[in-house]
Structure 1
Amino acid sequence: MRFVSVGFERDPWPVNMLDPEPYLRALPDLAPQLPTGAAAFATDADHYDFGSVRCVKDLAVGAVTIREAGHDQVTAVIEFEPNRFKHDSGLVIRYEGVTRFNVEVDESKPGTKVWPESRRLGDLQLDEILPAATGCTHEVKLTGGTIFVQCADLRATWDSPGT
């Protein structure tokens, strides 16, 4: 990510280091360059408020759908499931005019305990939406990987996944 910082430190204890502040400082200049839906989602006051039920942190990927939408368009939908200790609903992001969709899954660490409910991509840490020539890019950093989407625009709705 260009502005948002997501890292991991082990000293003295393992901890995720998350810092959206550089992005939030740049956002007033970036927002006018973003498509309408992307700008609304990126500038939502709760988006990076770690104490808010509408903060993206700690959501989990539930489902990803990529479709031919007709009219020479590809759409994608990511359904994020809520963390039961933090969120009152899930988040559904619909991407229109998708020109790039990448999922990178981090390598499993040796000795990692895997349970039936273990999620490979893990929990959402932070995300970043930037303007692009074709609309915008959306990079989502998870504890176990990264999702990157380039699209014409996106629409984010706080809903229960599957709706």
Structure 2
Amino acid sequence: MKFVKADWDADLQGFHVDPQSYLAELPKLREELPPGAWEFASDPGHYSMSSTHCVKDLELSDIHLATDKSGRLTLEFAPNEWKHDTGLTITYSGVRHFSIDYQQEIDWMPADAILLDEILPDQDGGCIHEMALTDASITVRSNDLRAVWG
């Protein structure tokens, strides 16, 4: 990710996350991000660690990738029982790239959870959504996305 920090801190034996550089840059991206991406990224609770709409700690629960040429991808995230009232579903349209890269370094967690994410404009008018998870990273390049809590 370019602005958001989400790194393992061996001294703390935990993750250090910091969205502040991205939040400072986000207002400049309004005209460049597609509408759904902007709505999701600019949600006031998105990076507020105490908000039920903060993505931190959501657990990756399912991936639905279209097998036709529709370019549709859906990622489902289950709520963290201590933080969220509901889960989150993100549906991407016009997907041009999807990757999930596993590090397989943290074996004490039963599921991969989001540390933080970042959505930036892509050069072709779409967006790039990157997510750092506890033991993986996800990158999606698409025309737009729609995020629904519930």
**Is TM-score (shorter-chain normalized) higher than 0.5?**
yes
User: What residue in structure 1 maps to residue 61 of structure 2?
Assistant: 62
User: What residue in structure 1 maps to residue 95 of structure 2?
Assistant: 98
Structure 2 counterpart SS, 1:61: strand
Runs of 4+ with deviation above 4 angstroms: none
Structure 1: distance between partners of 2:58 and 2:108: 21
User: What residue in structure 2 maps to residue 144 of structure 1?
Assistant: 135
Q: Paired residues, what number?
A: 149
User: What residue in structure 1 maps to residue 147 of structure 2?
Assistant: 156
- Structure 1 gaps of 5+ residues are none
1:34, distance to aligned residue in structure 2 (A): 0.2
**How high is the TM-score relative to the length of structure 2?**
0.94
Structure having the higher Rg: 1
* 1:6 partnered with 2:6: yes
Structure 2 counterpart SS, 1:8: strand
Give per-residue Cα distances to partners, 1:77-113, cap 9 Å, x unaligned. Answer: 000000011000000000000000000011336xx45
1:148, distance to aligned residue in structure 2 (A): 0.3
Structure 2: distance between partners of 1:113 and 1:138: 26
Structure 2: distance between partners of 1:29 and 1:87: 29
1:15, distance to aligned residue in structure 2 (A): 2.1
Choose from 79, 84, 88 the match for 1:82. 79
Structure 2: distance between partners of 1:2 and 1:24: 12
Q: Closer, same or farther in 2 for the Cα pair 1:3/1:113, shift >3 Å?
A: closer
1:31, distance to aligned residue in structure 2 (A): 2.0
Structure 2: distance between partners of 1:6 and 1:102: 18
Structure 1: distance between partners of 2:45 and 2:63: 24
Structure 2 counterpart SS, 1:32: coil
User: What residue in structure 2 maps to residue 38 of structure 1?
Assistant: 37
CA RMSD of aligned residues (A): 1.4
- Structure 2 gaps of 5+ residues are none
Structure 2: distance between partners of 1:100 and 1:93: 15
